[in-house]
Amino acid sequence: MSVSIGWIVHPSDIDPRLIEALAKAGVNELGVHPGGGRMAGALMKQTLSFWLSVRGQALRALCESHGLKVECDAHVLSYLLPREEFSRHPEWFRMDEDGKRNPDSNLCASSPEALAFLEKRAYELGQKLYTPSHRYPWWPDDVRGGACHCPACRSYTKAEQALLITNAIARGVKRADPMGTVGYLAYQDTLETPRRVTPEKGVYLEFAPIDRLSDTAIDDAGCEENARQISNLPALLDLFGRENARVLEYWVDNSLFSNWRRPPVPFQLNKEVLRRDVAYYRRAGFQNYTSFACYLGPDYAAAYGEIPIEQYADIIRQTGEA
C-alpha cells in the first residue's frame, strides 16, 4: 500500500527551490498554513490573497506540474464567521462561563443560523480554493477552552462542538467540491471521542498531537504526555474510519522548535523518533502522513543550507509501507 507524504508551511516559506526539492523527494501534498492563535482569521485572509495573486498562482502551477497537490491547512472559523457579525447576531456566538455571549472564539454550536452561515461561507471558500487532493483541512479556532456554554451547548463536550462545526464546514465544502473531504482536528481539547455527534460523510480524522514531547517516540510508554496523546487514538479511528485518516505531526516543524519566533533556529531531524512514530501509526491503521514544516523556507536555507526533506520522505515511505 503506498503512503501519502505531506509538508505543511507558511506562505512565506514557499519558493520554487522548495517545491522542486519536495517533488524530488517524493512528497505528494503541500499544505499552506496561514498560522494559528487569535490572528488566524486575518492570516487566512492574507493567505487567500497570496494564493489568488499572480505569484501564488504561478507557484501553484509549478506544484501541479510536479504532481504536488496543494491544500490549505487552516483554522478557518474566524475567517468564515467574522467577529464583526457579533453586533448583528450575538446569538450566533458562544456563551462564555459567565453567561455572556462572546465573539472571542468559535461560535454557538447549537445555533442553526450560525452553522448555516458557516456552511455558506465554506462553500464560497471551497469555490476559491479548489484542492486536487479533495482534502480540505479546515478547522475551528486554535484556542483551548473556546466552547459554548449556553443551555443548548452545555451538554456537548468540546470535541462534540468541534465536530458540529466541522460537519457544517464539510456540508459547504461538498457543495463546492462533491469529492471534498474535511479534517476533524483531534488535538488539545478535542482528543476525546465525540459521542452525541456523528461525523458526516467525508469528515476524516486529522490527528495532531501538539502537546507531545518531540525527543521521544509517541508510543514511548515511559513518557506520560505522549501516552496521553495517543490513549484515545484507537477509539477515534474506529469512529472516523482509517481509510482517509491522516497523521498531522510536528516532526519537521521548525516554527515549534523556534518557539514561533523568527529567525529560525538550526534544525535537525530526529530520524529515530520519526521511524518509530511512523511504525506506530502504521500499526494503528494510518497510510497518510504529514507534518508542519514551517520556518524551513528561503530564510532558513540562506542561513543554514540543506533541509532534510529527502531523509524525512524516505523514512516515512520505507516505514509506512513496510
> Pick from 3, 40, 108, 237: which binds Zn ion (CB under 5 A)?
108
Size of the site for Zn ion (CB under 5 A): 5
Other C-beta atoms within 10 Å of 97: how many? 9
Question: How far separated are the first and last CA of the chain, in Å rounded?
Answer: 9
Interface mask (CB under 5 A) for Zn ion, residues 117-156, using x and -? Answer: -------------------------------x-x--x---
Nearer to Zn ion among residue 160 and residue 206 (C-beta): 160
Nearer to Zn ion among residue 73 and residue 160 (C-beta): 160
Q: Residue 153 Cβ, how far from Zn ion at the closest point, in Å? A: 3
Q: How far apart are CA 22 and CA 6, in angstroms?
A: 9
Kindly provide the residue ranges of all beta strands, DSSP E only, lying in 160-229, ordered along the sequence. Answer: 181-186, 203-207
Evaluate whether 50 touches 155 at the Cβ level (below 8 Å).
no
State the virtual CA torsion across 118, 94, 159, 74 in degrees, nearest 10.
50
- Write the burial class of residue 128 (CB in 10 Å: 0-12 exposed, 13-18 middle, 19+ buried): exposed
Nearer to Zn ion among residue 165 and residue 248 (C-beta): 165
Q: Residue 167 Cβ, how far from Zn ion at the closest point, in Å? A: 15
Q: Residue 108 Cβ, how far from Zn ion at the closest point, in Å? A: 3
Q: Provide the greatest CA pair distance for the chain.
A: 55
Residues of this chain, 49-88, that bind Zn ion according to CB under 5 A: none
Which residues, in sequence order, are bridge partners of residue 204?
183
Q: How far apart are CA 289 and CA 5, in angstroms?
A: 5
Evaluate whether 255 touches 263 at the Cβ level (below 8 Å).
no
Q: What is the DSSP string of 72-86?
A: E-EE-HHHHS-GGGG
Q: Residue 267 Cβ, how far from Zn ion at the closest point, in Å? A: 42
Nearer to Zn ion among residue 149 and residue 242 (C-beta): 149
Interface mask (CB under 5 A) for Zn ion, residues 206-245, using x and -? Answer: ----------------------------------------
Nearer to Zn ion among residue 147 and residue 233 (C-beta): 147
Interface mask (CB under 5 A) for Zn ion, residues 255-284, using x and -? Answer: ------------------------------
Q: Residue 148 Cβ, how far from Zn ion at the closest point, in Å? A: 3
Q: Which three cell numbers stand for residue 194?
A: 465525540
- Write the burial class of residue 88 (CB in 10 Å: 0-12 exposed, 13-18 middle, 19+ buried): exposed
Of all residues in the shown chain, the one whose CB is closest to Zn ion is 153
Q: Residue 262 Cβ, how far from Zn ion at the closest point, in Å? A: 38
Q: Residue 253 Cβ, how far from Zn ion at the closest point, in Å? A: 33
Residue 102 binds Zn ion, judged by CB under 5 A: no
Considering only CA atoms, give the Rg of the chain: 19
Q: How far apart are CA 303 and CA 254, in angstroms?
A: 14
Nearer to Zn ion among residue 81 and residue 296 (C-beta): 81
Q: Residue 160 Cβ, how far from Zn ion at the closest point, in Å? A: 12
> Pick from 110, 255, 287, 319: which binds Zn ion (CB under 5 A)?
110
Interacting residues with Zn ion (CB under 5 A) = 108, 110, 148, 150, 153
